Amino acid sequence: MQLFAQLGFETGGRLRPFTATVNAGLEDDILDPVAPYVVKNPDLSWQLADLLTSGQLSAETIEWLVVPLRELGQATASRVRTTVAARDIHAPGGLVRTPWPSKQRQHLAETNYALFETAALFELPLIVLHYPRFATDHAYAYRRLRPLLADRTEAAFTAALEAVVNPALVNDAPIQTPRFVTTRVAAARLRRAAKVGLARAGRRR
């Protein structure tokens, strides 16, 4: 999103502003009448099919669907690690579609497959960017994004990418997360939440 903004595209972040602690955010609601030209929202990975099928969103309004894609095991480990570090199953950049770290890989795989099936069914122009390569290989990133860059030159693109990419934040090292630890962390948090809920219910009786 920072790259698109640097290139002069209209970007936003009203729904979820940028969060420096996890380098995430800049999200918007695609149904918002004042949504920007470039809309980022990970929830669209599983919501897009329903929005298109119901007619809430027209396929003709989507010029490009851009999907950054990380190796599945590393994407899973990254989200688990973020959740464990924050001790919060709702942490930005953490677990999605499940409170259980042991099930995150399965949910990511199913979500990505469904998104690509949606793109095929509704004939959405699709660009898939490999992470971390797109952040470190300028020529690769330019080739992949070239169809939506209009008359922007490769030199201008490279300058924009260099202006926004912080090499220290591009993590290409293998992430190892002990499975038994993450599973227990999630289970413990859920048990505590359940006890709080029961205690509150008891007080209302």
Q: Is the dihedral of CA 136, 138, 144, 145 positive or negative?
A: positive
Per-residue confidence at 22, pLDDT binned at 50, 70, 90? low
Report how far residue 140's alpha carbon sits from residue 132's, in angstroms, rounded to the nearest whole number. Answer: 11
pTM over the 0.85 mark: no
Reported in sequence order, the residue ranges of the chain that DSSP labels E, i.e. its strands, are: 65-70, 126-131
The residue that leads in pLDDT, 12 or 178, is 12
Query: Phi/psi of residue 74, each to 5°?
Result: -75, -35
Q: Which of 29, 74, 57 is nearest to 118 (CA)?
A: 57
Rounded mean pLDDT, 2-26 = 80
Domain ranges of the chain: 2-204
The residue that leads in pLDDT, 65 or 194, is 65
Fill in the DSSP letter of residue 57: S
Query: What are 80-121's pLDDT values in tens digits?
Result: 988 888 888 888 888 999 999 999 999 999 999 999 999 999
- Asked if 40 contacts 28 with a C-beta cutoff of 8 angstroms, the reply is yes
Report how far residue 128's alpha carbon sits from residue 116's, in angstroms, rounded to the nearest whole number. Answer: 10
Residues 6+ apart with CB under 8 A from 86: 94
Spell 72-99 as b/e; 16+ CB within 10 A means b. eebbbbbbbbbbbeeeebebbbbbeebe
Rounded mean pLDDT, 120-149 = 97
Rounded mean pLDDT, 45-70 = 96
The residue that leads in pLDDT, 97 or 178, is 97
| Lowest-confidence pick of 82-96, 117-131, 188-202 | 188-202
Residues 6+ apart with CB under 8 A from 55: none
Fill in the DSSP letter of residue 59: G
Per-residue confidence at 129, pLDDT binned at 50, 70, 90? very high
Report how far residue 119's alpha carbon sits from residue 127's, in angstroms, rounded to the nearest whole number. Answer: 10
Report how far residue 52's alpha carbon sits from residue 58's, in angstroms, rounded to the nearest whole number. Answer: 6
- Asked if 82 contacts 22 with a C-beta cutoff of 8 angstroms, the reply is yes
